[in-house]
């Protein structure tokens, strides 16, 4: 179902900072509807664009020079021992690496960009954002069991279970897409807001 496992912020980490994003995850589509729609329709392109904006927002004019896969956070984001950020050819071909990261590991890519901005501005997720992310994580972990439970309770056939499995998989994919689109839109809005307020 998913190639990656993400580490969500725990309550202790959330409490370290009292500064939150001005725009909540759920409200971000209202603030930047075009960005949210493009993030949902072409997530890899949105990942690429948002990471580039974040890198150059934190260090203006740096281009792709500070890029590494998942910004060096593989131990937190990706359960692949063969992927080692900083040793994947990022320096020679950062744009190609970012395209692969955005296409193959969209969740980890979004979390890495979010982590960059949160660390730079000492931001924390508010309770609503945390609830939304934990709800998504719950669905990610338990969605695979729902069709089996339905099949056991209803005594349905294998074909019905396969149909239920497809529906569940579609629901999971839609929830992933929505959360990622909201996350990328929130980050885009934060960068634009800071650039607008800069002297």
The pLDDT assigned to 74 comes to 60
The pLDDT assigned to 14 comes to 43
The pLDDT assigned to 77 comes to 43
> 58: part of which helix (H) or strand (E)?
helix 43-58
Nearest Cα residue to 125 out of 7, 6, 17: 17
The pLDDT assigned to 80 comes to 55
Query: In order along the chain (199 residues), what is the average pLDDT of each group of 10 residues?
Result: 38 56 87 90 92 94 90 59 71 90 87 91 83 77 70 64 65 79 91 82
Nearest Cα residue to 191 out of 91, 79, 46: 46
Measure the CA angle with vertex 2, ends 39 and 109; round to 5°. 40
Give the distance from CA 72 to its chain's centroid: 15
Q: Model pTM?
A: 0.75
The pLDDT assigned to 157 comes to 58
The pLDDT assigned to 24 comes to 86
Instruction: Please say whether the beta carbons of 7 and 173 come within 8 A.
Output: no
């Amino acid at each position: 179902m998913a190639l990656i496992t993400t580490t969500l912020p725990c309550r202790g980490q959330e409490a370290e900072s009292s500064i939150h994003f001005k725009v909540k995850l759920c409200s971000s589509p209202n603030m930047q509807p075009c960005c949210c729609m493009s993030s949902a329709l072409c997530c890899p392109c949105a990942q690429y664009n948002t990471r580039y904006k974040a890198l150059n927002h934190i260090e203006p004019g740096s281009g792709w020079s500070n890029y590494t896969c998942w910004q060096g956070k593989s131990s937190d984001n990706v359960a692949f021992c063969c992927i080692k950020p900083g040793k994947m050819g990022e320096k020679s071909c950062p744009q190609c690496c970012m395209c692969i990261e955005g296409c193959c590991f969209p969740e980890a890519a979004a979390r890495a960009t979010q982590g960059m901005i949160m660390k730079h501005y000492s931001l924390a997720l508010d309770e609503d954002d945390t609830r939304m992310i934990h709800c998504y994580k719950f669905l990610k972990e338990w969605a695979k069991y729902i069709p089996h439970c339905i099949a056991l309770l209803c005594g349905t056939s294998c074909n019905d279970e396969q149909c239920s499995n497809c529906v569940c998989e579609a629901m999971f994919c839609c929830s992933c897409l929505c959360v990622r689109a909201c996350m990328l839109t929130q980050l885009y809005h934060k960068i634009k807001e800071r650039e607008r307020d800069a002297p």
